[in-house]
Amino acid sequence: MKKTIIFLVSLVLISCSVKKKAADGKDGKDGVIPERITITASDIQKSMDYLASDELEGRATGSEGIEKAAVFIENYFKANNIKPYFETYRDNFEFKNSRSANPEQIIKGFNVVGMIEGNDPSLKNEFIILGGHYDHIGFGKEVNGDNIANGANDDASGTIAAMEFGRYFSKSKTNKRSILITLYSAEEMGLKGSAHLAARLKEEGINAYTMINFEMIGVPRAADKSMAYMSGYNRSNFAPILNKYGGEEVVGFFPKAKEFNLFFRSDNFPFFKELNIPAHAISTFDFTNFDYYHHVDDEADKMDYEHMTKFINKMIPALEGMMNASVKEVVLNEE
């Protein structure tokens, strides 16, 4: 019995001292295996239950609700060691709300921007931008006494995906290139937030490589379809590169994306326009699998959390492969 106990203790000591291998095969900095990072449905649902709650009153830009959403995201970043990219997490801007009854009204908005530094001395100077819009339309047409458009699928789902990717990479430290987690307001008012941030990053001379915008990933597609699709599919080789590293067709082609002008209608477009980089939106909502677009019934309890978990976990190796490749494999195609 004594020998058995000594043997078991020895195994524990050996396992605790196994050195972490970095992406380049060298020993990790501290020689200790980091905690295992898992993306769970319960974590995703916990974030969704708050971001799509009535307390936030539909997260309209300029409202008290979106301020609460921003604080929630900032606290999430702090808790997971995602650093501010600017002096603070907020990228502030103002604009006139031309779509309102008072077109001269000045709206104050703010994006929330965090950074995970890359672990490669050279490649960390190149940035991968991941994002989604955390605003929604506020209030909508009343149904059964409810007029709060909580925007669970649109786009609390994409916001949470970006946050979860941030948590994963900040803890795993497996990214050679640096990552920006960028969450935008005023998307529903004409891509105002992403346009401001893209222009600011351009002015500051950021060395941006690629951008992915996660837009409505809360519901699954039909079983005979790819898990997700990418807007502007043929504008770059982004989807084939992601699928190569993902080991399957995670991101497919959606024939109606061009008909619906999806490439130009979401927060990827300003980054393509300003930075001239491969920038696309990835979505699992294809206009056939969810009836509540800009509707008060776009609620947290209608999201498929197992699907969201599966999607995020399948995207991780795809993102890792792309962001850790020694050369820039993703390039724009000539249209």
User: 């409810």: which residue's tokens?
Assistant: 146
Distances (CA, A) of 58 to 303, 304, 331: 16, 20, 37
Q: Which of 73, 41, 80 is nearest to 218 (CA)?
A: 41
Is 166 in a helix, a strand, or coil?
A: helix
| H or E element, residue 272 | helix 268-275
Q: What distance in Å separates the CA atoms of residue 318 and residue 243, rounded to the nearest whole number? A: 6
Whether this prediction's pTM lies above 0.85 is answered by yes
Could you list the pLDDT tens digit for every one of the 335 residues in the chain? 444 444 343 433 333 333 334 444 444 444 445 557 899 999 999 999 999 999 999 999 999 999 999 999 999 999 999 999 999 999 999 998 877 778 788 999 999 999 999 999 999 999 999 999 999 999 999 999 999 999 999 999 999 999 999 999 999 999 999 999 999 999 999 999 999 999 999 999 999 999 999 999 999 999 999 999 999 999 999 999 999 999 999 999 999 999 999 999 999 999 999 999 999 999 999 999 999 999 999 999 999 999 999 999 999 999 999 999 999 999 999 86
Q: What distance in Å separates the CA atoms of residue 309 and residue 45, rounded to the nearest whole number? A: 10
CATH code assigned to 37-324: 3.40.630.10
Neighbours of 322 (CB within 10 A): 22
Give me the phi and psi of 183, to 5 degrees please. Answer: -120, 125
Tell me the β-bridge partners of 110.
92
